Amino acid sequence: MTDLSHYRNIGIFAHVDAGKTTTTERILKLTGKIHKIGEVHDGAATTDFMEQEQERGITIQSAATTCFWNDYRFNIIDTPGHVDFTIEVYRSLKVLDGGIGVFCGSGGVEPQSETNWRYANESKVSRVIYINKLDRIGADFYRVIKQVQEVLAAYPLVMVLPIGREDTFVGMVDLLTRKSWIWDDSGDPLNFTIGDVPADMVDIVEKFRADMIEKIVEQDDDVMEKYLEGEEPDIDTIKLLVRKGTIKMDFFPTYCGSSFKNKGVQLVLDAVIDYLPNPTEVNPQPEVDLEGEATGNFAIVDPERPLRALAFKIMDDRFGALTFLRIYSGKIQKGDTVLNTATGKTERIGRIVEMHANNRIELDFCQAGDIVAVLGMKNVQTGHTLCDPNKPATLEPMVFPDPVISVAIAPKDKAGNEKMGIALGKMVAEDPSFHVSTDEDSGETILKGMGELHLDIKVDILKRTHGVEVIVGKPQVAYRETITRTVEDDYTHKKQSGGSGQYAKINYIISPNDPGTGYSFESSVTGGNVPREFWTAVDKGFKSMLDKGTMAGFPLVDIKVNLTDGGFHAVDSSSIAFEIAAKAAFRQTVPKCAPQLMEPIMNVDTFTPDAHVGDVIGDLNRRRGMIKSQEAGATGVRIKSEVPLSEMFGYIGDLRTMTSGRGQFSMEFSHYLPCPKSVAEAVIKEVQERNAQKD
């Protein structure tokens, strides 16, 4: 059996361009997994193997790889930084035990860093912090430390201090051992010398070391008592207490370096071993029943217990669909039959492979703690649980956000239709935040995603990977409709035509529901005027109409229906009659409830050089934006605002023009708000014109 204490399942996550993929390359080089370092800017990074990643210099999908450091096995997932792909970060964090949060020495805590940090907190993932790019102009280790405290409300436990800054950065001082690590200019990560603390740093090293030990001894009352009496704990005790506090997330051991210049990565690898938890040290995954309610049981990490594995990613490649699994308990062998609790069907394990980016090593067997990919799964989707058929259980599922933007696409020629359908099916299986639907009226194929870049990449994948040329329509915003007035009404459905007829009468109240609560139905019928067996048919009828509101055909949200009274006929009444009555009642009454159009509002985080702040704020105001805050940094200003999604199309081009190419922004969905009257009228008119063209 493998010793699980020597396993580390870790993810590397950060804001776009903070150096995650470059750091992963350095780790793979140091651990002997690759012999030539590939650079992101050359499009040669190991874990960025998609054409689109290599061209754009960004990570789009999380990539898994396995390597060894000092006899410890690291299962590493390199995640994307761009906000449109946070789904990849979320699902990776769900299956990891620890992480390395990478921050840019000059950019500091950037927008996406906050989102990823929040996801990691929700997933209870212990982390070490690595402040990268300290060789850059404007890099400031101490400023980033302060930002982590203020912006992320986290305690960075400083374990090293940098020697030199910007282009004079040569290495760091390890506070634990009071030793300096200094690299030469050869660029070889192994060309370093360990020596004494530079004379001009002795005082600051002692100050930070004392702060570090004071924070660490809080983890153990006995050690703290001795420390207050003047006895400093030995290094082994300090390491144990740092590990304890890191796993509890009381603090986050903080390191620094320059991955690109090959300085400082070894100390981070040592920290992963010393302070991040192994699979047996994290809280076990809760099991739930088919309704999603907790059963009180947990998937304890142990190879001898019944199998519990979570499918966290589907990837289609030249050999077929790969299903990535995190095995929480039990073991899997090639040829085993496992139960998928989501479908209720069994699946046979074809082949098991250990992934190294897009290369693979065949395995006969895997066990609790492993992250592997399996081939041959037919009906498994992201978030499904695979388990022992004789002892079934479901792990807590993943919850994915709804898409906020859509485009219509059509193949350039008829022959591409079937090809496009197959390709889109595979892409939907790979990415749960990507939805595809068909417009019933026009027959158009609609792609829905998290942002413009997200859909751009999907269209690019269709073209290059699947060879389907498509015509892309204008991006559409995912509006919603709601109601603002309570209306009491009734409806009678009567139909008489040879044989038994149809009869259903319902009295009801339709009223606005609390924002964000969706649809709810209740019945206050007394005396059996509408028999109880027909209540669900009324509920079903109303519910089936919510997909198309009465204003412009957008989904209707936050509506409450109360069935108050009605009437039935002993022979002619049926469930179908009451369902039809409810549908007609919806069409009759909702227009009377003062319907209102709702638009998605985005949290927008814009970075601009100081000279262009006024232009950027003026532009955001013109886009109906609400400025929330401004923060001055070393190299510019961050402006946080809330802006309607409909006003944000093409923003990156305008921002670059205003800021001479130096501005950046990221945005994510926040909430829905009522549309101003003029905007609502324009949207409704556009929908009517589109519908008229289809007719």
Per-residue pLDDT averaged across 282-299, rounded? 73
pLDDT of res. 51? 47
**Which pLDDT score, from 0 to 100, does residue 360 have?**
73
Distance of CA 479 to the CA centre of its chain: 22
**pLDDT digits over 340-368, tens only?**
887 888 888 888 887 664 567 788 888 88
Q: Decide which of 3.30.1600.10, 1.10.3210.10, 2.40.30.10, 2.40.50.140 is the CATH code for 285-395.
A: 2.40.30.10
Per-residue pLDDT tens digits for 129-178: 999 888 888 888 999 999 889 888 899 999 999 998 888 888 999 999 99
**pLDDT range class, residue 386, cuts 50, 70, 90:** confident
pLDDT at 40 over 70: no
Within 10 Å of residue 146's Cβ, how many Cβ atoms?
Answer: 13
* pLDDT of 307 over the 80 cut: yes
CATH topology of domain 485-593: Ribosomal Protein S5; domain 2 (3.30.230)
Q: Return the DSSP state at 263.
A: B
Predicted confidence at residue 643, as pLDDT, reads 93
Residue 241 in this model has a pLDDT that exceeds 90: yes
How far apart (Å, rounded) are the C-alpha atoms in residues 333 and 337?
9
Give the residue, 382 or 214, on which the prediction is more confident: 214
Instruction: Please give the pLDDT value at position 42.
Output: 39
- What pLDDT, on a 0 to 100 scale, did the predictor assign at position 366? 85
The per-residue pLDDT for 452 is: 73
Answer yes or no: is pLDDT of 38 > 80: no
Residue 491: pLDDT over 90: yes
599-679: same fold as 405-478? yes
Given a cut of 60, is residue 54 above it in pLDDT? no
Residue 431 is predicted with a pLDDT of 75
Q: What is the mean pLDDT of residues 438-460?
A: 75
Listed in order, strand segments (DSSP E) in 428-518 are 435-438, 445-449, 470-472, 476-477, 480-483, 487-495, 502-512
Give the C-alpha distances (Å, rounded to integers) separating 224 from 102, 227, 228, 244, 248: 31, 5, 6, 14, 18
Q: Which phi and psi (to 5°) does residue 311 adopt?
A: -80, 115
Mean per-residue pLDDT over the chain, rounded: 81
CATH homologous superfamily, domain 405-478 = Elongation Factor G (Translational Gtpase), domain 3 (3.30.70.870)
According to the model, what pLDDT value does residue 620 have?
A: 94
581 near 491, Cβ under 8 Å? yes
| Tens of pLDDT, residues 181-238 | 998 887 777 788 999 999 889 999 999 999 999 999 999 999 999 988 888 888 999 9
- Cβ–Cβ under 8 Å, residues 61 and 49: no
pLDDT band at 111 (very low <50, low <70, confident <90, very high): low
- Please, are residues 170 and 262 in contact by the beta-carbon 8 Å criterion? no
- CATH number given to 4-281: 3.40.50.300
Q: Which of the two residues, 435 and 444, has the higher pLDDT score? A: 435
When comparing pLDDT for 84 and 225, which is higher? 225
pLDDT of residue 34 exceeding 70: no
Q: Which two tokens stand for residue 141?
A: 């280790």
* Residue whose token pair is 């008829």: 414
| Span 363-388, average pLDDT | 83
Residues 600-628 have pLDDT tens digits of: 898 888 888 888 899 999 999 999 999 99
Banded pLDDT at 1 (limits 50, 70, 90): very low
Are the C-beta atoms of residues 86 and 113 closer than 8 Å to each other? no
3-state secondary structure 313-339: EEEEECCEEEEEEEEEECEEECCCEEE
pLDDT-above-70 percentage for the chain: 86
* Strand (E) or helix (H) holding 673: strand 664-674
Domain 599-679 has CATH 3.40.50.300: no
**Residue 48 pLDDT exceeds 60:** no
| Whether residue 85 has pLDDT greater than 80 | no
Q: Residue ranges of the domains in the chain? A: 4-281, 285-395, 405-478, 485-593, 599-679
pLDDT at 37 (0 to 100): 41
Q: How far is CA 478 from the centre of its chain?
A: 20
Element housing 419 (H / E): helix 416-430
Which residue has better confidence, 620 or 29?
Answer: 620
Range 13-20 average pLDDT: 64
Mean pLDDT in residue range 300-328: 79
At residue 450, the pLDDT reads: 72
Give me the pLDDT at residue 52, please.
Answer: 43
Q: Identity (one letter) of the amino acid at 180? A: S
Asked whether residue 97 carries a pLDDT value surpassing 60, the answer given is: yes
Confidence of residue 62 (pLDDT cuts 50, 70, 90): very low
Q: Which of 60-69, 441-450, 500-509 has the highest mean pLDDT?
A: 500-509
Surface-to-core class of residue 422, CB atoms within 10 Å of its CB (0-12 exposed, 13-18 middle, 19+ buried) = exposed
* pLDDT per position as a tens digit, 410-425: 888 777 778 888 888 8
